[in-house]
Amino acid sequence: MSEQHRSDLEQRVTALLEAHDPATTGRAEFLRARWDAGLAWVHFPEGLGGLGLPRDLQAHVDDLLAAAGAPDNAPERNGIGLGMAAPTILAHGTPEQHERFLRPLWLGEEIWCQLFSEPGAGSDLAAVATRAVRDEPSDEWVVNGQKVWTSSAHLADFAILVARTDPDVPKHGGLSYFLLGMREPGVEVRPLRQLTGEAEFNEVFLTDVRVPDAQRLGAVGEGWRIANTTLNSERVSIGGQAVPREAGMVGKVAAAWRAAPERRTHGAHRRLLDLWVQAEAARITGSRVRQQLAVGAPGPEGSATKLVFARLAQELSALEVELLEEDGLRYDDWTLTRPEKVDFTGRDAGYRYLRAKGNSIEGGTSEILRNIIAERVLGLPGEPRVDKDVAWKDLPR
């Protein structure tokens, strides 16, 4: 990263802090000023909370602001908004859509969820059956269908939605992408209890939900291409952030190791060192991938970091439970809660162990990521596809 960018940014941060002393400025006011100063997400364009700078500089800004005691935008409450909806809206939205959605999203005033997966369409996302039908007189779309595994739907104000607008063409061509209001009539959210005991995700039933055409993102029929922007961003946002050495799951395990000398064994030591080295390699690889992402939206390369992240999270959290010996039997809280945020390394070892099992499924299963790496990164021949040229309505279901 260039020194010039760095010192420019530092000056901007100083100016922001001088004009809006965090000690005397309200949270909302400070965050708005930060947005206006282009320090929200520096890789976004000017006027939309950014400065058009490489994205790796953001971590430096965040550190400086945190050190000065400034409030943040509670990113853990709006992971899907920040990590997935925002880059997609930026890449494919109209200026009006940028203006309308990005600021409240970043400020955390509007929380987002992702209405992609359905009972019949998970890995095979292009098979979604939720229908959006245009109602010409009102210039609205009428949406009907069922979504599943929708994280944070119980908190969300808006959703990114993939729906079928043309059943008569092959599945990839008949999809469109919408920004759907979760508070509209006809949206019903039901909790789904998961492995961890909590209900982080939900089933969402959509019955005659209306979406103004102005909330369609991109052209009709372009939904698949746009959804791929979202999915590529998701894979970077799961486990792809800039983190210091020994952060995240590896930090938890290292801490457990250090805390209990009496439980150390040579076998555990060997595994810890092995995983520590792998985690460090993954961290450095992640940083290299992010530098390649400096311009434009992420491509398929993020699949590899996400794949490795999931495997390491599972192996590390398993080691942490084992290090606790019989105490690894304990589980902190089994009540059916609907959490306010998603935190992979939160709570205790048992929770972390169970939560990590979702990492190889959410945001593309590890098998799908292997296929993507093989076909789109390495350029190997594709899997045989039986359903590529058949009209969606004629596919067996």
Q: Which of 67, 378, 381, 385 binds another protein (CB under 8 A)?
A: 385
Choose which of 44, 106, 116, 353 interacts with ligand FAD (CB under 6 A).
Answer: 116
Asked if residue 274 binds another protein (CB under 8 A), the reply is no
272 with 254: CB under 8 angstroms?
A: yes
* 320 carries an active-site annotation: no
Residue 150 partner contact from ligand FAD, another protein, none using kind-dependent CB cut-offs of 5 to 8 Å: ligand FAD
The answer for 74, left when phi > 0, alpha when psi is -120 to 50, beta otherwise, is left
| Residue 109: Cβ within 10 Å count | 13
Q: Which residues in 166-205 contact another protein (CB under 8 A)?
A: 192-195, 197
Q: Show the tokens assigned to 382.
A: 């594709």
Q: Is the Cβ of residue 69 or residue 120 nearer to another protein in the bound state?
A: 120
What minimum distance in Å lies between the beta carbon of 161 and ligand FAD? Answer: 9
Nearest residue to ligand FAD, scored by beta-carbon proximity? 122
Name which of residues 164 to 223 contact ligand FAD (CB under 6 A): 201
Q: Of 96 and 383, which CB lies nearer to another protein in the complex structure?
A: 383
**3: Cα within 13 Å, side-chain hemisphere:** 0
- Residue 170: both structure tokens together: 């092959």
Residues 279-298 that bind another protein (CB under 8 A): none
Neighbour-count burial for 249-279, b at 16+ CB within 10 Å, e otherwise: bbbbbbebbeeeeeeeeeebeebbeebbebb
- Is the CB of 295 or the CB of 386 nearer to another protein? 386
Nearest-CA neighbor of 41 among 93, 98, 96, 2? 98
| 360 interface partner picked from another protein, ligand FAD, none, CB below 5 to 8 A per type | another protein
| Cα distance between residue 210 and residue 180, in whole Å | 8
Residues found near ligand FAD in the complex (CB under 6 A):
113-114, 116-117, 122-123, 149-151, 201, 358, 361-362, 364-365, 367-368, 371
The set of catalytic residues is: 234
